Homo-oligomer: A and B are copies of this chain.
Amino acid sequence: MTATHTPHPYYPLDLILDHYVPNTYSMADTLTLLFSTFGAITVGSIALSYQKRNTTIRGLGNQLTFLWFVMCGFIHFFLEGYFGIYHRTLAGDQSPLAQVWKEYSLSDSRYLSSDSFVLIMERITAFAWGPLAFFTAYAMYHNRPSRHIAQLIISLGQLYGCVLYYATTMVEGSPHCDPHPYYYYFYFGFFNIFWMIVPSILMHNSVKNLYRAMKVAVEAEKESKKVKKSK
């Protein structure tokens, strides 16, 4: 905007980010770092799922669900947790996680300007949904009765957070996003759409399982009352 402010590549162009320092990693470096970590988590999760003979953990669908929760645990707790704690200084931060956020922020500068909605939503995601994701993976692995309750809670939390995340900037005409299709559709769109699609499927799956169990419980309760009355 004016020559007295530090120039930066983020939108809106008049955003003031005087503590901004350009990344030392290239875009390719950053994406390689990110996807290698995701790859390692994937291999670890799938390997772990083969250790167990539960019907709730074996089979491709279950293995992918298990991987999803482990991956969410890492992304929420570490990546989003880093933002939740260091958001104020992020634009000038050169740690590997900060460089990932500075690259991503090209599609949403609210991460560098500590937007109050993004900050609170990310803190809840990191420190409530993060541990809950690991717990859900654990509950699934050991076929615990709490699994579908945890799965329903985290999936609704993720879905609600993601709807708010998209809609709060889109209703303003997405002023925080670089309009280039690479940033808008790949970073802002593709990277987040998973948290719309997968939680919707998993909520449906949990509601179905919980409904079936509650139906049996309600019937049994009614039955026991009839027996009592007829005595």
Contact = CB atoms under 8 A, between A and B. Distances in A.
A164 B214 contact: no
Given A116-B169, A156-B153, A169-B116, A145 B218 contact: yes
A60 interface: no
Identical copies in the complex: 2
A75 interface: no
A89 interface: no
Nearest to A203: B153
Interface in A143-199: 143-149, 152-153, 156-157, 160-161, 163-164, 167-169, 171-172
A86 interface: no
Interface of A is mostly: helix
Given A145-B211, A210-B149, A210-B210, A120 B167 contact: yes
Interface of A: 116-117, 119-121, 124, 143-149, 152-153, 156-157, 160-161, 163-164, 167-169, 171-172, 207, 209-218, 220
